[in-house]
Copies of this chain bind each other. A is one copy, B any other.
Amino acid sequence: RIDAERLWASIMETAAIGATEKGGIRRLTLTDLDRAVRDWFVARCTEAGCSISVDELGNIAARRPGRDNSLPPIAIGSHLDTQPTGGKFDGVIGVLAGLEVLRTLNDAGYQTHAPIEVIDWTNEEGSRFAPAMLASGVFAGAFDRDYAYSRTDREGLSFGAELERIGYRGDEICGARRLGAFFELHIEQGPILEAEGKTIGIVTGVQGMRWYEVTVTGMECHAGSTPMHLRADALVAAARMIGAVQAVGLAHAPDAVATVGLVEVRPNSRNVIPGEVFFTIDLRHPDDAVLAAMEAALRERLEAAAREDGVAMALTRIWDSPSVHFDAGCIEAVEDAARTLGFGARRMVSGAGHDAAYIARVAPTTMVFVPCEKGISHNEAEKSEPGDIAAGADVLLRAVLATDER
């Protein structure tokens, strides 16, 4: 059994790096704060006797040797980056539970067959650099390295330059190593476990998701002297489109979701009719065929809105992450662990994307979910119980050891 207090203390220690006034974390990927938490992680893993390797995407792997170090490692991991107004648990608990598993094995003097690795994946959130899960995606061959390097944030800074700047561009080729299996502990980020009074979510897969960028171009003009009928107001058109995105989500609810999360208005001045609006769309559904139908409906509605408002509109799909089905063996290992430990558990599909979704392409993979209050995540108020997190870490430990035994 893991040490619940030690794990909680680690979570609270890292929560201080980028802590916000409202009790959350603002620790965007490849910022100085990301460097700080990476340094912390490397130091703790080194203290725990691990060797550290950093690949060319900045993914950090801390390795505890096994009896047979020619075996591919069993890996545990998640991410330490956060949303701009993120919580203390999203991602973080998956990495720190991995550290706690290593510490527990050390305390017990337990030797595994295969090496065990704890991995911090770079840029999982996708908030600073789109798309999400970028570096686990490169690891799994979904993107190539230079594509990742060339991604820019909204200020125009590139992933490659920022990775270099914080000193975490390693030498190892990303994806060159094989993993024997991959387990990721994460908060559910949804309300089901809490509502059903269950402690463990056994994650069978991740729904499909697609990201889009839209640029609406109208005509910048004076807000006081330009009559209504002579306007080509990019914002009025974008507002109609935002309504259309919601309608596409509602048309396929309850399984579908559709969100506009980021908007930039230009020139963004009180007395200027907006000439250009940039916004993003996030569409998700567990069934890829439905997702494709949602995209078709979206395109049609956005084109209609542009025509109606006399503006130009460019819609680009920048990311397509199809639905993922996790490995049956790993899922059973988690299910067995939860049963043995006596935790209420249920199978579920993840609505959120996770590094595990990409790693599943190259290694047997699954995830363990624990409840979070009211399902609230990507919010500074995000909250999980120490006991639930400890339960998840215990399940992780057991599932890893069972996999190692096989």
Contact = CB atoms under 8 A, between A and B. Distances in A.
Interface of A: 83-85, 125-127, 130, 132, 188-191, 207, 209, 211, 219-230, 233, 235-236, 238-240, 242-243, 246, 249-250, 253-254, 256-263, 265-275, 280, 282, 284, 350-353, 375-380
In order of increasing CB-CB distance, the 3 nearest A-B pairs are A225-B351, A239-B242, A223-B259
Contacts of A353: 224, 271
Contacts of A280: 270
B127 A269 contact: yes
Given A263-B268, A379-B221, A257 B230 contact: no
B246 A263 contact: no
A223 B270 contact: no
Which among A189, A190, A233, A261 has the greatest number of chain B C-beta atoms within 10 A? A261
17 contacts: A83-B271, A126-B271, A127-B267, A220-B379, A221-B379, A223-B257, A223-B261, A224-B282, A224-B284, A229-B254, A230-B375, A233-B246, A236-B242, A239-B240, A262-B265, A270-B280, A271-B378
Contacts of A235: 242, 260-261, 263
B272 A378 contact: yes
A351 B222 contact: yes
Given A222-B378, A224-B352, A259 B271 contact: yes
Nearest to A211: B270
A256 B375 CA distance: 46
A253 B227 contact: yes
Contacts of A225: 188-190, 257, 350-352, 375, 377
Contact of A256 (B83, B228, B378): B228
A376 B275 CA distance: 12
Contacts of A223: 257, 259, 261, 282, 284, 378
Given A226-B351, A235-B260, 6 more contacts: A207-B224, A221-B376, A224-B352, A225-B257, A238-B239, A262-B270
* Copies of this polypeptide in the complex: 2
Contact of A226 (B125, B190, B230, B242): B190
A270 B282 CA distance: 7
Contacts of A257: 223-228
Contacts of A254: 227-229
B259 A189 contact: no
Contacts of A243: 236, 239-240, 243
B261 A263 contact: no
Nearest to A127: B269
A379 B242 CA distance: 25
A284 to B, nearest CB: 5
A206 B151 CA distance: 48
Given A126-B270, A262-B268, A269-B127, A228 B250 contact: yes
A165 to B, nearest CB: 22
Contacts of A191: 230
A80 B195 CA distance: 61
Contacts of A227: 253-254, 257
Nearest to A131: B270
Contacts of A267: 83-85, 127
Contacts of A259: 223, 233, 271, 273
Contacts of A274: 260-261
Nearest to A354: B224
Nearest to A350: B225
Nearest to A264: B268
